[in-house]
Structure formats: structure tokens, C-alpha cells
Structure 1
């Protein structure tokens, strides 16, 4: 008697329901999951340093201490810059209340001249100079919130750094018996490092050019906006827009509409040339995610984990792909839909190269 299998529609519904439950659970403990994933990604990023030290037969403690120190210097350095700059911003923004009120008055006069005063006044009722102070306080509170979770991140980094050599040996021992899962996890680590390396290099280039442009346009706190541009470079598709909004608004307050337009044009020129034309040639298909999947992953992980989820959207999706798709050779067509590329044998059979839809 043949074995009966569940209908595909029922299986799909069960998988979808399970995914919703898992994501809801992750969201409920997002303050813990976020730092865990961040620590994991940082440990993966510096693992080549540990492997190089092991090949050089360096003392065992250096294989832990050196990668951990590299991560801590980078993390604490960025946090110090952000904390200092945001503190300066919190002091600076309230001083622009007069310019803000003048800008509102000019807008109201322009609306009255063009016969749209009722609509504009309705929109401006919810905006006042006090919002500027609230914005400064909100930014300071956000930085303090990140600093408060820094202790957990440091502890997780230390624990994962201590366990990294053991995990590496376990993966090597498991490879002959579990080749699919070990290969999938190794691919996740490799793609994550490639993504972080390329994004960091081009993020630094964009940030330096943005700082130079803001300095020439006399926009206050150019270093803060440069660091913000570097961080938002890790947010796929819409990252540079997020980094553009604060300096553009500050340019509007300090120099009016012409200066804001110049800031927007400078950011568009820098980021479109670097991120749209140059960066993809280096990143290529290394990430293995289609453009649609990349954008959907940004929405999903930002909803589940908040701003940290947006920053870690690509590594999180790569990890999910490794655990759920790449570790099971029977679902290679699912991998094709995620990456936007045909399986190699099918691509060869059709006589065409795989599509290039990856970020």
C-alpha cells in the first residue's frame, strides 16, 4: 500500500504558520536576539585573523585575544564617535529654533500666495520648534540604549571568541558525515565576510566624500553624518536615503532651501556613482540573494528586530538560507528562487549563464 503524503497546500500553510510563530517569538526577545546575531556576525568577520594565527602556530591565547581586540577597537571606536557627535547634536539643535520658526513663517507666506494656505497650515500644526528639542533628546536616548546593550554584546563576543577554535574543529570533524550542513555554514561565513568587507570599504569611501561635501557646504557636524553614512551603507537598497535625511534637514535650517538642495545633489552624485555603478562590480553575486529577496529581507528583519535588524538584514537572511535551504540538497530550486540563479546543471543545459540578480 502506497504511503500517502500531505497536500502541498497544507504543507505550505503549516510552514508559513510555523515561520510566523518563530518570527513572533524572535520579536518578543529581540533585545537578546539582536546582540547575539551582531556578536556572531562580528566573530565571523574576524575569523580569518584567527585562522591565520593558527596556521602560523601562534600561542592559543593570541588566536582568541587578537580577533577579539580588533572587534572591540572597531566597535568601541565607532560608539565613541557616535556618542560624542550625538551629544553635540543634542546641544546644537535647540539653538536653531529661531531659524525653524522663520522657515515655518516663510512656508506659510508662500502657501498664502499660491492659494494653498489651509492645507499647508494643517500640515504645519503638528510641527513646532519643540520638535527639534525632542529630536535631539530622542537621538541621545537611542545612543544610550545602544550603550546599555554594549555590555551584553561584549560578553557575547568574548564567549564566542573563546568557543570559535572549538567550533572550527567540530565543523572540520563533522564535514565527512554532514557535508551539506557544514558546507552551507561555511558558505554563510564566506558570503557574510565578503559582504561586510565590500560594504565597509565602499562605505568608508562614501562617508569620506560625504564628510568633505558637508564640510565644504558648511553643514554642522559633518563627522557625525559621515559615521551615519558608513553605518547606513549596511542597510540594503534604502540605506543612503536614511543617512541623507538628517544632514539635509540641518542644511535647510542653517542655509535654507538652496543649501539643502546642494546637500541632496552631492549625496545623490556620490552614492549613486559609488553604490550603484562601482560597488556591485566588486560585490557581484557573492551574496547569493536576488534584489527582491534583499528588499523583502530588509522589511522583515527591520520589523522583527528594529534598526539592528535593518543593519543585519543580509547576514540574517544568509544564515536563514544556510540553515533552511543550502543544508538540504533536495530543495535546490528554492535556492534558485532566493538567489535568482538557475542551478549550475540547469544553466548549462539551457546554454545560458545564471542570471545576475544579486545585490
Structure 2
């Protein structure tokens, strides 16, 4: 009889954590390859219903690859064109508000002096403020995404390869369903949740963007279409995306028309975001994400650190993929699923609990 020694649980946890750190460090080092590959995977999942629809209607085999590929290509070209325009307009816009900001700083210094708090340190702090830094932050975000999408050829090739292998991959999943039902079910659940998340986020992001553009146009804020596009893009960034989309137009409203316009921009954005994304969107999103608020925020910080701006945009789909591979595919991972989702597990029937797993 062999002596089987079980490694203590703390060492197992530390070993897994170390492996995770090494894996993430490796992904960060090859982010220029992993980033486009993950983006291609999400895009293929997004257009896969089109391929399924064509297949059910007996469309020729080449259309099952060509149509999804054309849709992805049009989407990528549109995003690249918008980002190029945004970067160019931001680069031209930032220097034009130097005099307005200088006058605003002088007014703030005078007000602070009248209130008796105009210390030298405060004056120096005010002088260090620069509206160009905010525009540079947004411009850097757009430039980072543009840098990823500049490898358009690589992304298109990856999408083409994935579309060609989609039928074979589906057959492989069907064959593996009897041997690894938990894993296959987890991957299918990941694909469904990712598609639902993308559809719901895109629809309500467009609604918010249109309303934001209308509000900015009525308030006379320059470049309302640009800020609407920014609001749509940042809608995919959980937790802090709303703030990233709000700060540039609010600051521009301050420089253009004064504090009243800035406050109106902030109030308009907050009302639109609260009504659309806090009251209406959750009714359609449901449990599509399956991540708690804490896990969503941690996912954002982690993937943004590993993959940069692209990681921030894909934080939710990437976390869903990790959950499918490490949590949902584990027969004993129900407790971890509760920690990740923040929701109590569903009560299974006795038949489901006693049914053997094939």
C-alpha cells in the first residue's frame, strides 16, 4: 500500500497564486499577440449567431465564413476611423483653451484670496492644473486602442482562422460533452453570457450616447459627436467608464461657457446614466455578467494592467472566460462561483444531486 501524502491546503493556494502571477506576467509580455487574439475571439463570438442563422437556412459553406468576416471587418474599420478622428480632434482642441484656463485660474486665485485661504501652496497647486492633461489622458486612451487595432491584418487573419475552424470546434465540443460535461457547459455558458453582455451593452450604450450628444448640443459644448462616441466606447469599461466619458466634456463646458455649463453637463450625464444604466439596463442584462461588483472592479484593474486599454474594454468577457475555465468547469467549484458572482447558488432538485455524471 503506497503512502499518499496530501499537500497542506495553504501550500496549494500559494502554489496556485504563484502560477497565476507567472501566467499573467507572461500574458503581459506577449500582450501584442494575446490582446488581438482575445479581441478576435470576442468578435467571433459576437457574430456567431449570424453564422448559425445562415447555416440553418442552407447557405453555401463559403458564406458561413465570408459574411461574419465582412461584418467584423466593417466594425473594425469603423472603430479605427473614429479613433483616428478622435485623436486628431483632441490634438487640435487642447491648445486652443490655454487663455480661457489661465483666466479661470486667475479668478479662482482671486476668490481664494478674498476668502483668506489663498496661500502660496494653494496658488502653486492651482497653477499646476492643466486642461491639456485631461485631454492627453483621453487621447492616450484612444491612441492605445488605436495601437492595438493598427494590427488590423493580424486581427482579421485571426478572425478568418477562427471562422474557418468554427464548425470543427463546434463538433469537438459536441463530442466532448459526454466526457467533460462541466467544461463544455461552462464554455457554452461563457459564449452565451458574452454575447448577451455585448448586445445589451451596445444597445444601451448607443442610447446613452445619443442622449449625451443631444444634451451637449443643447448646452453648446463643442464636438458633441466626439464625446458621444467616447461615451459609447467607455460604456464597455465597468465602474469607471462613466467618469472617463464625463470628465472631458464637463471640463470643455467649463472652459467654453463657465461653471454653470459644467454643472449642467455633469447633471445631464448623471441623470441619463442613472435612468438608462441603473434603472432600465439591469432588467435586460439580468445575470448575464455573473460577477459581483467587487470582482468587476478587480477585473478592470487586473486586465487594464495586463493588456492596457484593450484589457479595460474586454475586462468583463475575459473575466467570464477565466470563470468558465477555472470555476464553472470544476465539479466542486460551486462555493467559488458564489464568491465570484455574489449570488447564492440555485437549489438543485434531489434528482439532479443524485444523478451520475457521465
Structure 1 length normalisation: TM-score?
Answer: 0.90
Distance 1:225 1:318 in 2: 29
Return the offset for 1:168: 1.6
Distance 1:76 1:173 in 2: 37
Distance 1:130 1:101 in 2: 12
1:1-359 matches, within 5 Å, as 3-117=4-118, 118-128=120-130, 138=140, 141-142=143-144, 144-345=146-347
* 1:99-156 CA distance string (max 9 Å, x none): 1211121122122222222232121343357758866975775465244233322222
* 1:209-261 CA distance string (max 9 Å, x none): 00000111111111111111111111112211111011111111111111111
* 1:288-346 CA distance string (max 9 Å, x none): 21222112111111121111111111100110011111112122221122122333237
Structure 2 length normalisation: TM-score?
Answer: 0.91
Distance 2:245 2:188 in 1: 32
Task: Name the CA shift for 1:139/1:220 in 2 (closer, same or farther; >3 Å).
Answer: farther
Distance 2:217 2:92 in 1: 19
Distance 1:133 1:294 in 2: 26
CA contact (8 A) 1:101 1:128 kept: no
Distance 2:42 2:69 in 1: 13
Task: Report which stretch shifted further, 207-216 or 146-155.
Answer: 146-155
Distance 2:57 2:227 in 1: 40
Distance 2:262 2:169 in 1: 51
Task: Name the CA shift for 1:291/1:136 in 2 (closer, same or farther; >3 Å).
Answer: closer
Aligned length: 348
Distance 2:94 2:42 in 1: 35
Question: Unmatched 5+ residue regions in structure 1?
Answer: 350-359
Distance 2:136 2:235 in 1: 26
CA contact (8 A) 1:85 1:221 kept: no
Task: Name the CA shift for 1:324/1:139 in 2 (closer, same or farther; >3 Å).
Answer: closer
Return the offset for 1:15: 0.8
Task: Name the CA shift for 1:109/1:131 in 2 (closer, same or farther; >3 Å).
Answer: same
Residue in 1 aligned with 2:356? none
CA contact (8 A) 2:213 2:227 kept: yes
CA contact (8 A) 2:42 2:317 kept: yes
Task: Report which stretch shifted further, 160-169 or 127-136.
Answer: 127-136
